[in-house]
Chain A
């Protein structure tokens, strides 16, 4: 007893010092001053005792930036006595967020509309008779908001008791356990015992498809998923049925959730009602190591966090980037990770005389390749970079093949005659975030919903917010927003260019018209004619102005933009037919029929997918989750992947393999570190090294020489037949195979 007293007396002075320093940095959800140290409860009284000490500046929650549409409209409110300036029209909850106070909430989500039904965000407002639901209440000038008073705490405790009334106590077997908002907040506002003695309700689980697992008994009816489905995903699949305790979320009829963004409902669900089916019972979130990386399955370059345990990728989650993917990712990005564990190439292999592959050592494999390289002429060598190649390895490939005397290097998907001279001709000039400013869209030969789901989500957001018009030229496709199907072939484009089409008037009257061209046009013969027609349209409709550049090319693959920046352009269009040596760097969508039978094919990649069956030598390389690589997305923003897990087997980074091969072949490349190769890139395309910054194109597309090619009447094709399986990793994935089997069937 005496010892304890002594100890507490010894500890107290340090504790008080600590708490005073930490008080303004650590802002716990708990708003009970009496539960804190006695010093903390005395904190409100502190300013009186030391009046000369100004309150330290508050930083908004998560370092958020505040968007002031009109600086004159700022109003001042007081949150816990601290004055904050906020734009007019913000809610009380947002005002608290600006003041650095995180209000507990379940139904409110910053990217969805406000529902105001969970009542967890109750705060006390001076002169208000009752606690106020802060998420739905607009902040008024001079409002005095109190977030940590006994009234607010009691109100939240009451709400929490009701929420926990029907919530099962199955946290130990719940996949959300450890990352559950309800769990966290019940730590702060939950009671230690229940007063509910009746039976808890139970709800039948719904089948939402192979991606989202439902345990509907855990649902607290926050309706975030319903709002997400209708507002962001644009499918009317989910809804609320019944009233009172019979209320449940469900698909009205037995139906799967067929959205390419459905995985995001897992993230936004504050409890464990919607969890990831492939991740179910695989790991706990505290066992996982997060690596902040970039998605490479499409050209958007969504920011992701790769969660790994040991040497295994366990799941992929979105990461905030307001300019690219906000906080969503597509299902392909989220669930293709099991493809990283299947069909991996882990040993160098040589095809023997009997046509069978034999695993050999790196030394032997490289020696064989170098031997063949010495026997072929420079112009007979062809190099094709795959969809998932990073800029560093493409640079190394180009340098290496150039040294061998070949200039036939290209990236698949860019076509045989890409226009790499003008950067504005192949990137999204208006940026992905900038699409929100557009009021008329003209989609030419592109189905953004399958080609770039995140871009499609932006367009949908714009259409929803501003009733922007969307015109679409291409084969009949599934859109999740209102659009006018103008035609299927380039003739329609010609009509618009000549001003004969009814859609022209919409385009002319638009303030910020945006043209989005699909990258599948690169493969067309009449590409130049289409682009010049588009140029005419953009001239007529004033699409490219100093303050607005609405000419966008929506690329398909992660490697495309960087490849064009680095100048990976074939010298002759027919090079592959006469090739003697084909260097495939992860290129799996090359038409191998075109490759002559006597050609030596070197496949360097991470998955045994398609081209590997034609290869003579296989060199195993690292996948994007295992290497550091620069990727440029479709809007021209270069970003880097970081290694999350080790490479499998004997695999090596792509650029290292090329560097080693160059040495064996006697043409040593002058770089032996990633930094050195990046300084080589700096001389070619310095924009690739400004990571996380978007480099706008300097010249607009109007500088392009006019071509006198005629547009053919071949209708535009669909670039991606199967959204879920587009590259070697996604094709190896079982989950993606399940998705395409169950979700794409008509």
Chain B
């Protein structure tokens, strides 16, 4: 197995040249594997697994039926740095969590698009821009005045 990895790498270098190969290596996040064990593990898992699909964000969904059942589907996030589970769009969620065997691409084809809004990942903790302030909060841009009466304004005087 290790041998096939090296063979593949050699093949890649031969086809693309060293520069291109290194750039690809970086884009695919292999360099981040060193500090990030999760990513490294995912990459190791990917070897020999089947790429089931890629969603519109670039997340890659893999399946390997040889491994232990319940661990046989996983995702490699497109975002290699700050990835989190909310980056998986709704159509792939079911497949990824063994709710359905339909892949996200199949589901998108099956279901007429009627109500869905664009999937948005959860930005909690991603800075002040993403903090929700209550309707009456001073930092809410549409800050609401809750007084339920209208006071007399001394305009005419």
A346 interface contact, C-beta 8 A: yes
Q: Which of B41-49, B69-77, B135-143, B144-152 contacts A (4 or more CB under 8 A)?
A: B144-152
- Interchain CA distance A648-B150 in the complex, whole Å: 10
A649 touches B151 (CB 8 A): yes
Q: Which listed residue, B148, B150, B152, B157, touches A311 by the CB 8 Å rule?
A: B148
A346 touches B148 (CB 8 A): no
Question: Inside 8 A of A608's CB, which chain B residues have their CB?
Answer: 152-154
A437 interface contact, C-beta 8 A: no
A351 interface contact, C-beta 8 A: yes
Quote the shortest CB–CB distance from B86 to chain A (angstroms). Answer: 34
Q: Which partner residue on chain B sits nearest A349 by CB separation?
A: B154
| B contacts with A, residue count (CB < 8 A) | 10
Q: Most chain-A Cβ atoms within 10 A of its Cβ — which of B147, B152, B153, B156?
A: B152
B157 touches A357 (CB 8 A): yes
Q: Which listed residue, A310, A341, A355, touches B157 by the CB 8 Å rule?
A: A355
B149 touches A344 (CB 8 A): yes
Quote the shortest CB–CB distance from B150 to chain A (angstroms). Answer: 5
B150 touches A612 (CB 8 A): no
Question: Inside 8 A of A341's CB, which chain B residues have their CB?
Answer: 148-150
A65 interface contact, C-beta 8 A: no
B157 touches A345 (CB 8 A): no
- Interchain CA distance A310-B146 in the complex, whole Å: 12
Quote the shortest CB–CB distance from B152 to chain A (angstroms). Answer: 3
Question: Inside 8 A of B152's CB, which chain A residues have their CB?
Answer: 343-346, 607-608, 612
- Interchain CA distance A613-B153 in the complex, whole Å: 11
Question: Inside 8 A of A346's CB, which chain B residues have their CB?
Answer: 149, 151-152
Q: Scan residues 455-513 of chain A and give those whose CB is less than 8 A from a CB of chain B.
A: none
With A351-B157, A613-B157 already in contact, the answer to whether A343 and B150 are too (CB < 8 A) is: yes
B151 touches A344 (CB 8 A): yes
Q: Which partner residue on chain B sits nearest A345 by CB separation?
A: B152
Quote the shortest CB–CB distance from A313 to chain B (angstroms). Answer: 9
- Interchain CA distance A409-B98 in the complex, whole Å: 85
Q: Which partner residue on chain B sits nearest A355 by CB separation?
A: B157
- Interchain CA distance A645-B156 in the complex, whole Å: 29
Quote the shortest CB–CB distance from A288 to chain B (angstroms). Answer: 14
Question: Inside 8 A of B154's CB, which chain A residues have their CB?
Answer: 349, 356-357, 608
Q: Scan residues 608-651 of chain A and give those whose CB is less than 8 A from a CB of chain B.
A: 608, 612-613, 648-649
B148 touches A342 (CB 8 A): no
Q: Which partner residue on chain B sits nearest A312 by CB separation?
A: B148
Question: Inside 8 A of A268's CB, which chain B residues have their CB?
Answer: none
Q: Which partner residue on chain A sits nearest B148 by CB separation?
A: A312
A340 interface contact, C-beta 8 A: yes
With A356-B157, A613-B157 already in contact, the answer to whether A344 and B150 are too (CB < 8 A) is: yes
The interface bits of chain A over 180-201 (1 if a CB of B lies within 8 angstroms of the residue's CB, else 0) are 0000000000000000000000
B148 touches A345 (CB 8 A): no
A345 touches B151 (CB 8 A): yes
Quote the shortest CB–CB distance from A546 to chain B (angstroms). Answer: 52
Q: Scan residues 93-134 of chain B and give those whose CB is less than 8 A from a CB of chain A.
A: none
Q: Most chain-A Cβ atoms within 10 A of its Cβ — which of B148, B149, B150, B153?
A: B149
Q: Scan residues 278-328 of chain A and give those whose CB is less than 8 A from a CB of chain B.
A: 310-312
Q: Scan residues 345-376 of chain A and give those whose CB is less than 8 A from a CB of chain B.
A: 345-347, 349, 351, 355-357
Quote the shortest CB–CB distance from B132 to chain A (angstroms). Answer: 24
Question: Inside 8 A of B149's CB, which chain A residues have their CB?
Answer: 312, 340-342, 344, 346, 648
Q: Which partner residue on chain B sits nearest A357 by CB separation?
A: B154
Quote the shortest CB–CB distance from B22 to chain A (angstroms). Answer: 64
Quote the shortest CB–CB distance from B140 to chain A (angstroms). Answer: 21
- Interchain CA distance A344-B153 in the complex, whole Å: 9
Question: Inside 8 A of A349's CB, which chain B residues have their CB?
Answer: 154
Question: Inside 8 A of B157's CB, which chain A residues have their CB?
Answer: 351, 355-357, 613
- Interchain CA distance A341-B157 in the complex, whole Å: 22
Question: Inside 8 A of A612's CB, which chain B residues have their CB?
Answer: 152
Quote the shortest CB–CB distance from B5 to chain A (angstroms). Answer: 62
The interface bits of chain B over 55-74 (1 if a CB of A lies within 8 angstroms of the residue's CB, else 0) are 00000000000000000000
- Interchain CA distance A342-B148 in the complex, whole Å: 9
- Interchain CA distance A612-B151 in the complex, whole Å: 13
B151 touches A648 (CB 8 A): yes
Question: Inside 8 A of B153's CB, which chain A residues have their CB?
Answer: 608
Question: Inside 8 A of A648's CB, which chain B residues have their CB?
Answer: 147, 149, 151
Question: Inside 8 A of B150's CB, which chain A residues have their CB?
Answer: 341-344
Quote the shortest CB–CB distance from B34 to chain A (angstroms). Answer: 59
- Interchain CA distance A340-B152 in the complex, whole Å: 12
Quote the shortest CB–CB distance from B103 to chain A (angstroms). Answer: 39
- Interchain CA distance A608-B151 in the complex, whole Å: 8
- Interchain CA distance A346-B150 in the complex, whole Å: 9
- Interchain CA distance A243-B42 in the complex, whole Å: 77
Question: Inside 8 A of A649's CB, which chain B residues have their CB?
Answer: 151
Question: Inside 8 A of A344's CB, which chain B residues have their CB?
Answer: 149-152
Quote the shortest CB–CB distance from A683 to chain B (angstroms). Answer: 37
Question: Inside 8 A of B156's CB, which chain A residues have their CB?
Answer: 613
- Interchain CA distance A612-B157 in the complex, whole Å: 9
- Interchain CA distance A343-B148 in the complex, whole Å: 12
Between A and B, 21 residue pairs with Cβ closer than 8 Å are A340-B149, A341-B149, A341-B150, A343-B152, A344-B149, A344-B152, A345-B151, A345-B152, A347-B151, A356-B157, A357-B154, A357-B157, A607-B152, A608-B152, A608-B153, A608-B154, A612-B152, A613-B156, A648-B147, A648-B149, A649-B151
List 15 additional A-B contacts (Cβ < 8 Å) besides A312-B149, A355-B157: A310-B148, A340-B149, A342-B150, A343-B152, A344-B149, A345-B151, A346-B149, A351-B157, A356-B154, A357-B157, A608-B152, A608-B154, A613-B157, A648-B147, A648-B149
Q: Which residues of B contact A (CB under 8 A)?
A: 147-154, 156-157
Report the 3 A-B pairs with minimum CB-CB distance, sorted nearest first: A608-B152, A357-B154, A341-B149
